Amino acid sequence: MYKVERKLFFKNIAVVYKPVGHCVSLAQKYYKTLKKFFKSTVESIWVDDVKPGSLDKYDLIISIGGDGTLLRISWCLGDRPAFVLPVPCGRRTIFYEDLDKIPPEEIVKKLITGNFFVDKVEKINVTFSNKNYYALNEVTILTNDFGRVLTTEVKILTPYNETSFYIEGDGIILSTSTGSSAYALSAGGSIIEPRIYGILVTPVNPVNLNIKPIFLHMFAKIFIKPHGYTKIYIDGINIDTLPPNTIIKVQQPNIYIRLIRVGIRRDMVKRVLESRITLFK
């Protein structure tokens, strides 16, 4: 995270929002405020309409929604390190600061003066079958047949270690430290401080009980070879169904998204755990 010491010029701005009541109202306020203070092009977009490549022309993106909205934006940006201001409007907002009580005009003035921090959130890269993707939270590899155990071969190379082993179970999750609070946490992984760069390897329902989550060096290269048909997900999006023995490579290549922070310190652990309280009728 670093402090912005100069004003940034944003030529094209997009307000991407979740199409529900309060989020729509908030998006309208930000849209009008941005039009008032910036001479830039400002456009509003439903998050459902965001596709890979559709955000390439924007220098600044205002994300209004929950974590799903931001993950969708990140997915569509790919390896572009765009500036994104997360404005919370959802039940799960791990990526967001508590900006609810701050008027949009005050936030926009901070953007104009450069009075904010930039939080560089690392992504992980996954390649297979000549295809290339980036994940902000996690890459999930799951068996295509949940009635049968999947055997997965895992090879890990780091500057200090080389190891190989097999996991038998429903699959494997490879997450960033930021993504440790998502699916990996549900699968028994630990919450990791977001600024500690690396890759968390978490088995999903393993049969071999001696296998536990492993947090690896940020320069690690991980090779996954499932011995059965699998589905691969990037940040919750079903990307492909892979045949047996497809080799999947995962690493952290210094690709990131730049989240704008106005300096409000967050209680991340509390936010993560409170969002997972059981809902009763």
List the catalytic residues.
67
Is residue 86 within 8 A of residue 95, CB to CB? The reply is yes
Is residue 20 within 8 A of residue 47, CB to CB? The reply is no
Dump strand ranges (E) for the chain: 2-3, 12-17, 41-46, 60-65, 83-88, 117-122, 124-128, 131-135, 138-143, 150-157, 162-169, 171-175, 199-204, 214-216, 221-226, 230-234, 237-242, 248-251, 256-261
CA distance 280 to 56: 42
Q: Is 48 exposed, middle or buried (0-12, 13-18, 19+ CB in 10 A)?
A: exposed
DSSP label at 179? G
Q: Would you give the end-to-end CA distance of the chain in angstroms?
A: 41
